[in-house]
Amino acid sequence: MRKLKLSGLLIGLLLSIILVGCGTSESEGSEGEGGETYTVATDNNFVPFEFLDEETGEMTGFDMDLIRAIAEEAGFEVKIESMKFDGVVTGMQTAKYDIGIAGMTITDERAETIDFSEPYYDAGLMLAVQESNTEIKSEDDLAGKKVATRSGTTSETYLKDNHPDAEVVTFPGIVEAYMDLQDGRVDAVMYDVPNVQYYVANDSEGLKTVGDVLQGEQYGIAFPKDSELVEDVNEALQTLIDNGTYDDIYEEWFGERKYGTEAD
Ligand code: ARG
């Protein structure tokens, strides 16, 4: 009797481990109905474009809403896979995934090995410092300072090209850079405007943004070179811009309507 009970318990335990295992796996399985399923590579933490919703265990953010809406419009399904940003870039170059969306700036260099959709978001770079910092008011004050950012991004390139006399410190994830800034181990962080603003306002204490927007940039959805999906995605994106869905999503994450379409 005792044995039976125990084995029942064991089976229950095993079952729940298996179930929990499925629920927390990194890829979320297919979404939507019908059509081909395409893999979508995204970054695992780039607020407010893609990050984990702790309650649902699903990736959320502007990019996630946009790619799901595009998939629905174009009639395909997506399987979201989150990883480090560099993995998204190389995942396109090696055609490991079908689509990449990760606040990725369209650059001439990347466009040699990756295809991009039409631009879907206007960004740029910005500096954050500690609130108490009175020395760094703009990028003109970076000489001799420790400036942190994420490796493999346009900020790293910008700093190396324009600020050879700053000490550039790179991290595989941007949150580590912000943490070091908060703790005073670096003097400033340079990164994408929307991320810096969002992080400073929502996720940090004692930080502020300084200076102007540096280097205008545009984000594009990425594809392996010569992907047949580019055209369909561009078409769907344009439809969503015209019918106000893009603005609905934009408003949800950025508090305004980019193209000024009517809200329903
Ligand atoms: N826009 C910059 C770039 O393309 C930074 C992108 C960072 N994106 C991310 N998901 N972490 O280099």
Closest-CA residue, ligand 1 atom 12, reads: 153
Q: Per residue of the chain (264 residues), give pLDDT as tens.
A: 444 454 554 554 444 544 444 443 444 444 445 689 999 999 999 999 999 999 999 999 999 999 999 999 999 999 999 999 999 999 999 999 999 999 999 999 999 999 999 999 999 999 999 999 999 999 999 999 999 999 999 999 999 999 999 999 999 999 999 999 999 999 999 999 999 999 999 988 899 999 999 999 999 999 999 999 999 999 999 999 999 999 999 999 999 999 999 987
Q: How far is the CA of 49 from the centre of ligand 1 (A)?
A: 10
Indicate the burial class of 23 (C-beta count within 10 angstroms; 0-12, 13-18, 19 or more).
Answer: exposed
For ligand 1, which residues put their CB under 6 angstroms from it? 43, 46, 85, 102-105, 153-154, 192
What per-residue confidence (pLDDT) applies to 263? 86
Q: How far is the CA of 43 from the centre of ligand 1 (A)?
A: 9
- CA nearest neighbour of 217 among 195, 238, 240, 245: 195
Closest-CA residue, ligand 1 atom 10, reads: 102
Indicate the burial class of 112 (C-beta count within 10 angstroms; 0-12, 13-18, 19 or more).
Answer: exposed
Q: How far is the CA of 3 from the centre of ligand 1 (A)?
A: 56
Whether the full predicted model's pTM is greater than 0.95, yes or no, is: no
Alpha carbon distance 190, 166 (integer Å): 12
Q: How far is the CA of 245 from the centre of ligand 1 (A)?
A: 24
